[in-house]
Structure formats: structure tokens, C-alpha cells
Amino acid sequence: MGRSQAIGRGRDPRFGPEADDAGCTILHVDMDAFFAAVEVRRRPELRGRPVVVGGAGPRGVVSSASYEARRYGVRSAMPGMRARALCPHAIFLPPDFSAYSAASDAVMRIFRDVTPLVEPLSLDEAFLDVAGAQRLLGRPAAIAAAIRRRVFEEQRLTCSVGVAPSKFVAKLGSTRAKPDGMMVVPAGQVLDFLHPLPVGALWGVGEKAAAQLHRLGLTTVGDLARAPVSMLRGALGEASAAHLHELSWGRDPRRVIAEHEEKSIGAELTYDTDVTDPAMIRRSMLALAEKVGARLRASGNVGRTVSIKIRVADFRTVNRSRTLPTTTDVAREIFEISWALFQVLRPAEPIRLVGIRVEGLAAAATASRQPTLGEPERGWREAEAAADAVAARFGRSIVGPASLLGRSDLRRAENHPHSTVVPLSDPATPS
């Protein structure tokens, strides 16, 4: 959708919790500063302080920022160095996606206790259709309030909720309600809510499109709604003009779709400085394979295709993949295939980013696997499952390949940190 910064915050009594919510059966629930909030939850001493999740190095990127940091202008997707300049006393923390995923699972379970019609958009937000839940749980605004209360009481996290007749308006409502608020947009007042907003609030209006619309004198959603569609076509093209015209009148017929089939699971690492050392790249790929394998097992999936992504210093990106005769969720196998793909590729230029992804997913419970000739009856799969159990109890940093021991440089992956340490052998080490 449009940039969230373009949507003003604030409490308008016309759209408060007591507003008429008849027909407003779509909820958009958005966790507040989710990654940062999860970090503060486990480090209470950071409460009230500016916390930034992401890298502070020359290529670091902000994944999340607490509202204390946002007051200094720090925003998600901002370069870490820029965030550091804006808020020199901010506390930078590396992302821990396993913790965020666990928190997300717990929150999504609360949503599904209310209705089976839950459509996650990411770890920290989802659409809910509560039409069928009203008979048992009350009106939509009451359901939204109950969700917010449960999320806080059970997870010690806050969320903001938009309650509206459509997905588009509900998402705008949750953004306006932030942080830790709720906004109801009555069906009869959608245009009163929508038309004063800047055009950048509309789905599909980025900076370039907003600039084009401003040149036409269209600064608000209402301006765009009243403009001839032919004018919009000339500036934006046929498809975008029709799309934005419909949204500007609050028309969004999309339903909440509960089933979302994950197509791939992966992880990436962007180096602070370009890398030419094959040993460093190898360790990075080992750490990424460990992360991908753990994510596959946690999701209950296995995959058949392993792919790697390599970005060199001039930003050219190359992808290579191999499809296996059988599925896998074993980090050792994922690493060995990934490393073989890299050795064939061997780019001469310094490397900026490496990534590993497993595609062609299937549920592990239904997928069959043919053991390879000479493979022991119990081996790496069992070892990694045991490591998962240890990590679930003590944290992912407690267990991992020995060759990653002490590699703090690998922990600083911008958006995909990985753990280090100990009892598993390096795949290159005979066992």
C-alpha cells in the first residue's frame, strides 16, 4: 500500500471504539514496532529507551525501531548509519527471527481462536473476517478490543486494529490508530475518513506516483476521486488509474483468504564490506543453511529445490538452483548443495550478499524420503532435531556448527542473523 508515513496518526471521535460498526466485519491487526517490542519484552531494562533492530554498520538496515527511536526520525528500511546519525544514543540489536517467529505464532493463534478466516500478511500483521464470530463474540469493535486485550495479557505486546467494511480501509485504520489503539470506520463514513488523506496513503502510490499526482494538483485522496479518470490514465497508465480511482471511492471487493501456502523458505546475509575470502563465504553459507534448515523443521515443511543467490560489488545478482530427487530439511544437505553450486559459479568479483533458499515445499508429514545408498539409519536429521530441542529450551545461540564458534561477524547479518556454537560438526569435518 502507500507509505505509512503518509497516513497521519491521531484520534478522531467519529472513528472511535463506540462508532457504528455495523457491516464492519474486516479487521486489520498490526503489531506495534514488533521486532523492537519483542526485544524489549525479554530485556525489560530497555523499556522507554530508543531501541533499533538491525545493523548499524555501513550496509546495515533498520528492521524495526521502538517509538522512542522513531521520535528521532528512525524508520524501518532506513540505512543503519543514517539511523545512528539521527539517534546516536539508540541501542542497536541484531535481529533474532526465531524469537519473532515464535511471538508471531502465538499472536496468530489468538487471532485464530476468534475466527478461522485469518490472512497473515507478514509476521506482525493480519486481516481477520469476523462476520461469523459476531453471534458468539459480539460486535466487531468488541472483538477487536478483546483481541488487543488478549495480546497484551498473554504476550505482553501491543497491537493496533482497524475495523472497517473492507481490507483497504481497515489497514488504513490500523495505521491511523498506532500505537496501541483502535479505529472504527463506519460503512457510511468511509469517504469522510478517506478523502482528507494524502494521495500517498493509497495502495500503489509510491514516491514517483505521488509526485506525478502532485504535478496535476492532486494532493488528497478526495482530489484524486474527483479527477477525471482520463487525466489519471495519462499520468499513471490504464491499470493504475482504474485501481486508484476505485480505492479513492472506498471500493475494495477483496475477501480475507485464510489459506496461505508458503512457497519457499530462505535466509540472506549482506556483508558490511565486500568479501573475497572463500573461507568466509563458506562459513556464511554454512550459517545460512543452518538457519534455513531450522526454519523448515519449525514450519513442518521439507523442500526439493535448493537455490543460492550471490550479489557482487556492482549489485549484479546471480541465482543458481538444483532440484533434488527427494525432499530435505537437513541443514547439512542444504549446505553441501549450496556450496557445490557456489563452487561452480565462483564469481571473480568481491561478494556483497549471499543467500540460500529452499523451494518446492511440501508438508514433512506427507513427504516421502528415499535414503541414499550407505546412509546410516540415524544421522544428521536426528542430530539437527536434537539441536532444535536444545535451541527451543536455551536459545539458538547455544548450538551450531563448531566452525562458526566465535564468528561475531556472522551474527551481524543485516536482516538474517544466525547463531554460532558448538556440538555439531562442520560438514567438512569427518564424523
Q: Which DSSP category does 130 fall into?
A: -
- CB distance 421 to 415 below 8 Å: no
Distance between start and end Cα atoms, the chain: 51
30 annotated to bind ligand? yes
Q: How far is CA 393 from CA 43, 182, 293, in A?
A: 18, 35, 18
125 is catalytic: yes
CA-based nearest residue to 53, from 385, 390, 40, 269: 40
124 annotated to bind ligand? yes
The catalytic residue among 39, 68, 119, 125 is: 125
Cα–chain center distance at 15: 28
Rounded distance between C-alpha atoms, residue 173 and residue 222, angstroms: 17
Residues with Cβ within 8 Å of residue 143, at least 6 apart in sequence? 27, 114, 130, 133, 134, 137
Residue owning grid cell 498506532: 178
Rounded distance between C-alpha atoms, residue 161 and residue 180, angstroms: 8
φ/ψ of residue 106, rounded to 5: -65, -40
How many residues appear in the chain? 431
Rounded distance between C-alpha atoms, residue 336 and residue 331, angstroms: 9
C-alpha dihedral over 99, 394, 293, 428, to 10 degrees?
Answer: 140
Rounded distance between C-alpha atoms, residue 149 and residue 145, angstroms: 6
Q: Which DSSP category does 424 fall into?
A: B
Cα–chain center distance at 278: 30
Phi-psi region of 183 (alpha: psi -120 to 50; beta: other; left: phi over 0): beta
Grid coordinates in use for 274?
A: 565486500
Binding residues: 30, 124
Q: Which residues are catalytic?
A: 125
Binding residues for Mg(2+): 30, 124
